[in-house]
């Protein structure tokens, strides 16, 4: 950073929220300094070692060659272990029935995300200090920028939102095709809808990013850059003279000064200063930085997540068919099921084919020897699918215990589900099982609720519009500390069953636009 660059805004974090807030500011000519705790990491498309699959799948240091700990294969890739592991080392949170997914990496969690996107509608925004119309321009801007593909005229299109332009969908695999055909051919379903998934995957090349070529490499990082990754936006931001990025500067303390804020960073000799701070370190990262500002001593805060259930499915019609040689391992289909009359009482999720997933993680769950288990999985895999089912955030009941009394920040995360979840989960499972059977897919034993937090749909800590000390304004400004804006998931007042990233990005964009116009 050149010394004469006096930033008007410091953005902490280079993930989807950080870049989304920074872009409108930079476009408006404001001087923005982004700080990033990690050091630059090459995009999968820039890695020179493409030729050796083991490096991609196990990691250069074999970090991913480790026993199965029950987490989803997505969180066990070398990149995920690096991104999330880096965060866990930095944040030092204690976890109880909770798995803290955060990122200490350039581009944040977008390096490992599932790329599933959906807009919130007016009913999802209940309790928010803003309307769907206010969010729509930001949804449009983000959708245009990151590139989203899917259908605009199936039963799920309106549910996923229609604010922005949608690219043509990817061709779905044979297993998903069977289910979608049966859905279209059958009688209408009560409370249930199925359609193509809406993913942040390019199906049309754009700039340096190439379109998806169905190479089945999704899990380990798209080598073509077809899946959106915040580092792509970061590269574009770095071409602006009024934007600067500082690497390897993990924020450790924020201090109020007469004319603004100072950020102390690990390894930095001098604090970085700006009139306004935007915290975009990811829900848990921002929690770590913002809690000391509240000066609450010991306190308990609420944390929302979207409880997640995985259901393995078998399609007998696909048995004995050859496995497809191309495809993608992100969600192929999306669905929604209303389980009660209230507008937010629905579950949603995706249907995934298993051909690109590592057989070892399935064989580890089959009640047979390794050799037979692998053979059985390989034989079944053309007929297998996985449905992920996300429940609304009010089904979660997690707590954060924060203790800043000793000078250090000690955070504990305790995961739990709401009282009614014990009734809701079996009900949803029963109803979905019946629907899957109608669609020609038989639920296999082994459906399980994932550990809280692994869904990575977190929020509700510093809700926008809440008047309490830990609340924030409609622009995410902490009441306790004017000039500090929280622009990531931590300020979402509620978590719906829909994936959160697009909304976090749109909200950050909205806050960025607002601040761009503030003197």
Binding site for another protein (CB under 8 A): 53-54, 56-58, 62, 64-69, 320, 322-323, 358-360, 363-376, 378-379, 381-382
Give the shortest CB-357-to-another protein separation in angstroms: 10
Nearer to another protein, 58 or 449 (CB): 58
Give the shortest CB-80-to-another protein separation in angstroms: 15
Nearer to another protein, 184 or 372 (CB): 372
Give the shortest CB-317-to-another protein separation in angstroms: 17
Among 417, 367, 361, CA closest to 75:
361
262 burial via Cβ count (<10 Å: 0-12, 13-18, 19+): middle
Nearer to another protein, 56 or 198 (CB): 56
Distance, in Å, from the CA atom of 27 to the CA atom of 24, rounded to the nearest integer, reads 5
Among 129, 134, 102, 494, CA closest to 280:
102
Nearer to another protein, 376 or 444 (CB): 376
Alpha helices in 261-369 (DSSP H): 283-294, 359-363
Nearer to another protein, 42 or 320 (CB): 320
Burial 316-344 (b: 16+ CB within 10 A, else e): eebeeeebeeebbbbbbbbbbbbbeeeeb
Nearer to another protein, 53 or 165 (CB): 53
Residue linked to tokens 């761009």: 516
**Contacts (Cβ under 8 Å, ≥6 apart) of 88:** 100, 102
Among 323, 365, 393, 282, CA closest to 72:
365
Give the shortest CB-312-to-another protein separation in angstroms: 16
Nearer to another protein, 266 or 368 (CB): 368
Give counts: helices (H), strands (E), the chain.
12, 19
Give the shortest CB-382-to-another protein separation in angstroms: 7
Give the shortest CB-316-to-another protein separation in angstroms: 15
Give the shortest CB-68-to-another protein separation in angstroms: 6
Alpha helices in 105-173 (DSSP H): 132-146, 157-160
């Amino acid at each position: 950073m050149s010394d004469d660059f006096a930033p008007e805004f410091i953005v902490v974090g280079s993930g989807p929220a950080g870049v989304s807030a920074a872009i409108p500011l930079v476009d408006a000519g404001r001087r923005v300094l982004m700080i990033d705790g990690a050091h630059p990491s090459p995009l999968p498309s820039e890695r020179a070692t493409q030729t050796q699959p083991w490096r991609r799948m196990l990691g250069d240091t074999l970090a991913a060659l480790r026993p199965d700990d029950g987490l989803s294969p997505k969180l066990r890739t070398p990149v995920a272990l690096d991104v999330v592991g880096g965060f866990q080392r930095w944040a030092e949170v204690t976890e109880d029935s909770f798995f803290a997914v955060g990122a200490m990496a350039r581009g944040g969690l977008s390096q490992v995300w599932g790329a599933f996107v959906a807009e919130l509608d007016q009913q999802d925004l209940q309790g928010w200090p803003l309307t769907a119309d206010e969010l729509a321009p930001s949804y449009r801007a983000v959708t245009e920028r990151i590139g989203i593909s899917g259908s605009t005229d199936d039963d799920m299109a309106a549910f996923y939102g229609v604010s922005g332009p949608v690219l043509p969908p990817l061709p779905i695999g044979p297993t998903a095709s069977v289910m979608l055909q049966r859905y279209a051919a059958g009688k209408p379903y009560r409370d249930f809808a199925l359609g193509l998934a809406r993913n942040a995957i390019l199906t049309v090349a754009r700039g340096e990013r190439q379109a998806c070529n169905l190479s089945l490499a999704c899990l380990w990082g798209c080598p073509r850059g077809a899946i959106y990754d915040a580092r792509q936006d970061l590269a574009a931001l770095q071409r602006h003279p009024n934007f600067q990025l500082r690497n390897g500067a993990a924020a450790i303390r924020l201090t109020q000064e007469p004319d603004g804020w100072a950020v102390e960073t690990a390894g930095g000799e001098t604090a970085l200063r700006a009139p306004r701070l935007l915290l975009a370190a990811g829900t848990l990262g921002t929690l770590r930085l913002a809690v000391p500002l509240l000066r609450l001593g010991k306190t308990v805060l609420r944390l929302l997540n979207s409880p997640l259930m995985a259901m393995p499915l078998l399609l007998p019609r696909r048995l004995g068919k050859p496995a497809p040689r191309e495809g993608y391992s992100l969600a192929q289909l999306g669905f929604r099921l209303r389980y009660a009359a209230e507008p937010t009482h629905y579950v949603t999720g995706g249907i995934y084919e298993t051909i690109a997933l590592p057989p070892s993680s399935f064989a580890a769950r089959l009640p047979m020897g390794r050799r037979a288990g692998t053979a059985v999985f390989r034989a079944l895999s053309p007929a297998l699918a996985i449905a992920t089912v996300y429940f609304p955030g009010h089904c979660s009941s997690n707590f954060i215990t924060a203790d800043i009394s000793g000078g250090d920040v000690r955070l504990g995360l305790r995961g739990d589900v709401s009282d009614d979840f014990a009734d809701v989960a079996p009900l949803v499972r029963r109803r979905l099982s019946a629907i899957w059977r109608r669609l020609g897919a038989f639920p296999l034993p082994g459906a399980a609720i994932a550990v809280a937090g692994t869904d990575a749909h977190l929020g509700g800590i510093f809700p926008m519009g809440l008047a309490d000390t830990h609340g924030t304004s409609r622009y995410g400004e902490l009441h306790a500390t004017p000039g500090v804006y929280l622009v990531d998931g931590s300020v979402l007042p509620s978590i719906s069953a829909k994936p959160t990233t697009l909304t976090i990005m749109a909200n950050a964009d909205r806050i960025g636009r607002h601040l761009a116009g503030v003197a």
